[in-house]
Amino acid sequence: MIEKNIIDIIRDNMFDYSAYVDLDRAIPSVESGLKPSLERILWTMYEGKNFKFTKSMDIEGATSKIHPHAGTYPTIVNMVQTDKQNIPLLVGQGNFGNHTSKELQPAASRYTKVKLSDIAIDTLRGIDQNLVEFTKSYDGKKKIPEYIPTKFPLILCYASKGIGVGMGSNIPSFNLGELCRATIRYIDTGEKTILIPDFATKGYVIEDEKEFESINKTGRGSIKLRSNFILKSDANVIEITQIPYSTTREEIIDKVIELMKSGKLKEVNDIKDASGFNGQKIKITCKKNTNMNLLMEKLYKLTPLESTFSSNINVLVDRHPKTIGVWEVIDAWLDFRRKCISRKIEYELIEMKKDLHILEGLERVLIDLEECINIIRFTDDEILKEILMNRFNIDNEQFNYIIKMSIRNINKDYITKKVSERKELDEKIKYLQLNLNNEKYINDIIKEDLEYVIKKFSIPRNTEIIKVEDVNIEDIMIEDYNLLLVSTKQGYLKKIRLTSLRGSGGHKLKEGDYIISEYNSTNKSDILIFTNKQNCYKLKTATLVDVKVSNLGLYLPSHLELEDNEEIIKVIPTINYTEDILVAFENGKVARIPLSSYKTKYQRSKIIKALSPDLVVDIHLLNDEGKFILKSKNNRGLIFKSKDIPTKSTKVNKGITIMKHKDIEVVKFKNIKDCKLNSIMYYTGGKAGKKIPIIDIV
């Protein structure tokens, strides 16, 4: 007796079970594009001629005779739902629920009826002409087709999701017309068009060439889907009429309610599901004076109104699971379809040869039709076959055909007419034999079928393709208001709402401290803080706490964790980084640097090597062109125009020489508007032949 370890038994059984689930239940075949349960439902209905409405319960019961797993009614429901499939394979009567709602469930199978859709009937038509192999059902009592011989790549038109053991599949649907036209173009030219998924729920798919290309090439990729909406500004209402394929109305409503309770959607008063006979609708009631377009951007970012569909085209190729791209699927389907057509040609040849063989028998009988009729009339049944076959040199098949002919057809005119078809039939046989392995001939048939499908079944795109600019969620969520930013010599920073300045007294400062800059800005600005260590620290204004004039403000050296001996030179706010700054150095040079040089892709809090290593005297934000002044240690001044300073985008820009003098040492850099001047003098310097003003500053 052979003993087997229980672990080995469990492992072997699990392997068998996993293979069975993946190959016979969860993963669709690349040929027909359907899971076995769908194929068996279609075959059961086609074989039973369910072209008129039949109880779903009856279909489910009939399918169970060839489908060994659980009941197929959930699959029937999915095949009916028009908001799940662009091309439903079944037509339903009764309540089949909604794909877009998890609460609106379908009625029980005894209350609903189904029939094959026109496209399903067309897909199955001709299956009895040897288009595909037939196999035995699980109990061996019936024969069922191995695949459904689809005239188009159904696998890419039918949205399908399957979860197996250790693997899954999530195949998006594509537009039938676009797919068929692209396949025809591919057959003719070899061009592989980038196909974009199209879903029955409608709405929008956000253009993303990289992801589209990935889905087409590898089968994997994530695309973003958006809801469609109608703004009713006069009623402060947003109506959501189409939602992404990958979510439900309840998920959207629950998320909005959650955000309302947490205070993140203060603009929304109410939300409810207003769907009915007129279609799907989610009604969002907003507060007065709400910017509803901005609110929609916020809803897209925070709720499933914008959702992601993750494509995973995992299919059975030669009975092996494989993740492949759209065009590999089309290649595999074309190979399958060519085999179907070749099998049909072989079937037609066999049938034509049978007909030709019969005609040959009729031709022999025609030699003496009267004798043939007399033999049939006056010969006993026991010897009729032998006598007739010997007399006219016909075989069993020819005899059976002649003996079963209608009496009215056993006449010279009818038989002569039938025999005359022999030449035409013979030419058809030769033509088909010649083209049996002719790829061009077979491809032409495939293209004709695709053109027929386009003409009869194609529909416009449901999901519109749109371009969307990326919106920063922080920008949407941040409350925007005007404010004043005040910085002091000792490193304090105040963020003060303009509304709180009304009627307030003077600024509270530490003893010996004084204000070095004041800027009007907004709560959505960035703050750049330059230090004498050539560092630039970045803060989001919205992250700072609003303070009163009577408050000292935020102590930046502690907040930024500045290094030893690191001092703040200037605090500069910016909203969109479109301004320039002027940087004056102790050596008499001035640099002009665009703030865009400090705009980083990621939210870095510190930029090193933000300035030239030369000793910086001061920095000014340049909102408008104007005049500025440098003051030297020996109390001389020089006025220059900002427009004369060339802009260089490098952060370590050393600038150009403005003040040139023996033992020059610049100690102050100011806007001329902020200075009191006296004792104007001139000396020749700078560019040859030009006088440069030297001014003493009080």
- Per-residue pLDDT tens over the stretch 487-496: 999 999 999 9
The predicted pLDDT at position 595 comes to: 93
- Among the residue ranges 10-24, 96-110, 190-204, 248-262, the one predicted with the least confidence is 10-24
Structure tokens at 138: 């699980």
Q: How far apart (Å, rounded) are the C-alpha atoms in residues 411 and 390?
A: 21
Residue range 235-264: mean pLDDT, rounded: 92
Does residue 325 have a pLDDT over 50?
yes
Which sign, positive or negative, has the C-alpha torsion 332, 334, 339, 343?
positive
Q: Is 449 exposed, middle or buried (0-12, 13-18, 19+ CB in 10 A)?
A: middle
Beta bridge mates, 204 = 226, 464
The reported pTM is 0.72
Report angle CA 679, 680, 686 to the nearest 5 degrees.
140
Does residue 550 have a pLDDT over 90?
no
The string of pLDDT tens digits covering residues 88-143 is 999 999 999 999 998 889 999 999 999 999 999 999 988 988 899 888 888 888 88
- Among the residue ranges 20-34, 125-139, 212-226, 335-349, the one predicted with the least confidence is 20-34
Beta bridge mates, 628 = 640, 671
Q: How far apart (Å, rounded) are the C-alpha atoms in residues 450 and 588?
A: 77
Structure tokens at 47: 């074989």
The model's confidence at residue 498, banded by pLDDT at 50, 70 and 90, is confident
Query: Which domains are assigned to the chain?
Result: 6-184 (3.90.199.10), 228-304 (3.30.1360.40), 338-457 (1.10.268.10), 478-575 (no CATH), 580-589+615-698 (no CATH)
The one-character DSSP state at 373 is H
Q: Which carries the bigger pLDDT value, residue 332 or residue 435?
A: 332
Residue range 589-617: mean pLDDT, rounded: 89
Residue 101: partners with Cβ closer than 8 Å, 6 or more residues away: 248, 249, 250, 275
The pLDDT mean for the chain works out to 85
Percentage of the residues of the chain whose pLDDT score is greater than 90? 48
CA dihedral 496, 500, 503, 509 (to 10 degrees): -30
- Alpha helix positions (H), 190-325: 209-218, 249-261, 292-302
Residue range 416-427: mean pLDDT, rounded: 74
Q: Which carries the bigger pLDDT value, residue 687 or residue 388?
A: 388
Report the candidate in 102, 106, 104, 105 with the shortest Cα–Cα distance to residue 251. Answer: 102
The predicted pLDDT at position 689 comes to: 36
Q: Is 34 exposed, middle or buried (0-12, 13-18, 19+ CB in 10 A)?
A: buried
